[in-house]
Amino acid sequence: MCDTLIATREMTVDGYTIFGKNSDRNCNEPQYFVHIPRSEHSANEMVTCTYLTVEQVRHTNALLLSKPSWIWGGEMGINEFGVCIGNEAVYSKETSKEKALLGMDLLRLALERSSTAREALYVITELLEKYGQGGNGGFEAEFYYDNSFMITDANETWYLETAGKYWAAKKLEGVHAISNHMTIGRPDLEHPMARSHAREMAYPVTEPFDFSGSYIDWDRPQNISGFIRRSAGQHMLELPGRQFALKDMIKTLQSHTTDSPWKKGDMSICKHATGYASESSTTNTMIAMINPDNLMMWGTGMSTPCIAPFQPFWFDTYSNHLVFAYHDQEQARQQWLYREKLNRAMLSGRLNEKIYRLELTNMQERWLRESKNVEYYARQEFCDSVAAEAARFIEKWINQSTMTAEKYYDEDFSQYWRVKNASLGKDCRIVY
């Protein structure tokens, strides 16, 4: 469960596209930022993804990837050319349980092999047709789905929806939210057999062709929450009009559709796990400002963006406490688990949320102001300074929580989180 948001350059204050995504996965599932360097490969080399081994290309791009620990690919990322992609789980009538490429694998492969958004779209669709998509995408339980992708660069943005090996794509301008719900009606591009296959399978086919209407699986209840979250995200994106700015993306990614997100967070863009019926929560968040001369990002490196410090980094400059070397994933995993103590402290009632949010807001707004005036030579110092301040802030509040008794709002909620806390960090799988 995820939400991906885009404001293309026509809508933004500074005239460049702003991308944002909350990656929602199992609440115990570590997800962190890693840097993957560009690389040259030999002829006939193969690359092993999460479940499948595929042919490697001779050159792969450098990228920053938000990576669930046990998956080869990533939930969102950006490459050295400014191609940025986020994926969503969608629920089609073609979803397969057979092991193939996960949506996260397709995302990483596209970033490694493309220099434009359109090229990334072609990479994904060609891999889909050759290898298919499928396999368990769940961390603690089996979870099967297809994928959609928001793909952007400095010049254009594409939304790609898939159903098995079939797909449709639409070029976007303006502000757009996508979630776990298929929406493409009249595609600009589509799989050449998408319509004929739908007819063969007796799926509903209208004229003009409605891809999502033919392939969506309404038996999957996630379509309802995805529809609600997409509507909420679209509303938030439209509020600033043509003056959309970084602060608006942060506000949208931190937003809720309920006054009680810790109890009823399932429909919110900032998603909170609320019990056995909803074990998914936002486990990492990324914003990218697609300026070809200045690829700047903001990210949390932790769960629950409504209480997480958004830290700045650039494609070529970042704190190694927020973006980790690919071979340092165990350190990255441990850092995510440590920061998760803050979320567990807040939901267990051991922190004063009002005072906490006031301090967080003041700190965040200061970083936003200071980031506008950072010279190139001072970027590393700025990133390291922010990371150090964020670490002190998180450590202080985690320490405070140890001096306060738990105050869960009911016994079922308390029991659920005691079980989740006992298993947090026990699954040590890391895929390189």
Helix (H) or strand (E) holding 87: strand 84-90
CA distances 273 to 220, 276, 315, 372, Å, are: 19, 8, 31, 35
The one catalytic residue among 2, 84, 270, 383: 2
Q: Following DSSP, what letter does each residue of 353-381 receive, concatenated?
A: HHHHHHHHHHHHHHHHHHHTT--GGGHHH
101 in Cβ contact with 49 (< 8 Å): yes
- 272's tokens: 């909170």
DSSP 123: H
Cα separations in angstroms, 184 against 169, 170, 189, 376: 7, 7, 11, 41
Answer for the pair 82, 290: CB distance below 8 angstroms, yes or no: yes
Q: Determine whether 2 is an active site residue.
A: yes
Give the helix ranges, DSSP H, for 99-221: 103-113, 117-131, 194-200, 211-215
Largest CA distance in the chain: 64
CA-to-CA distance for 373 and 394, rounded, in angstroms? 26
Angle between helices 103-113 and 117-131 (to 10 degrees): 130
Count of all residues that appear for the chain in the document: 432
Strand 31-36 to 323-325 pairing: parallel
**Residues known to be catalytic:** 2
